[in-house]
Amino acid sequence: MDTFRRIVREVGVCMIGQTAELAPADKRIYALRDVSATVEAIPLIVASILSKKLAEGIDALVLDVKVGRGAFMKNRAQARELGAALCEVGQAAGKRVSALLTDMDAPLGRTVGNALETREAIDILRGRGPTICSPAPSPSAPRCWSSAGRRRPPGGRDAPARGHRQRRRCARVRAHDRSPGGDPRVVADPERLPSCDHLVEVLSDTAGWSTPSTPSK
């Protein structure tokens, strides 16, 4: 926690996983939900998510609510209901809260995989339209810039526009990567990211969508 606080003071942002001390009751309550068929109960989902967020001492929160085949909420009506409930409870606690619905029917960007997605995100934050795997702008770019604008309070209609103006300030990613285990050089030189030994390019004869197949037994 001391390292986390130091990075926040020095850089202004830090990514961290949940600690056992943050919301210790949540794990036990979730285990009860798992055996009582209440995992899908929206009030309990809201309690689980916001218990951790509010325990962090936040001032503002932007929630990424997934919707689609690859998400827990399969349709937009369910996702909107969850997002509205999260915002209502968070705002009742005196926090600035907004929610974005993210389509999980397909990958957000042009790439799939930890290193490739990190490289694509770096390209977007540096203002580069094309990604490494496509001559077209990444479909995740508008969502990424919109989130960047919404992160900074106070909110408002110009939040997505602020995201566009602020993307050049994302050199702080380089500073953040100076935290333990990080390599700040990857921001300027993504070739330093891990890569596989062999690459195979698979091309389609026609336009369309690639969908997951059922593994053969």
Weakly modelled stretches of the chain, pLDDT under 70: 128-181, 210-217
Alpha-helix residue ranges (DSSP H) falling in the chain: 2-11, 24-35, 42-55, 76-92, 114-125, 141-151, 159-166, 172-176
- Domains observed in the chain: 24-106 (1.20.970.50), 107-191 (no CATH)
Cβ proximity of 83 and 99 under 8 Å: yes
Which one-letter amino acid corresponds to residue 201? E
Are 67 and 102 within 8 A, CB to CB? yes
pLDDT at 134: 40
So what's the pLDDT on residue 97? 94
Q: What distance lies between CA 203 and its chain's CA centroid?
A: 29
Contact 204, 39 (CB under 8 A): no
The pLDDT of residue 210 is 64
CA-to-CA separations, 72 to 2, 62, 83, 110, 132, in angstroms, rounded:
34, 18, 13, 22, 30
pLDDT of residue 42: 92
Instruction: Write the pLDDT tens digit of every residue in 57-83.
Output: 889 999 999 999 888 899 999 999 999
Which residue has 């325990």 as its token pair?
Answer: 55
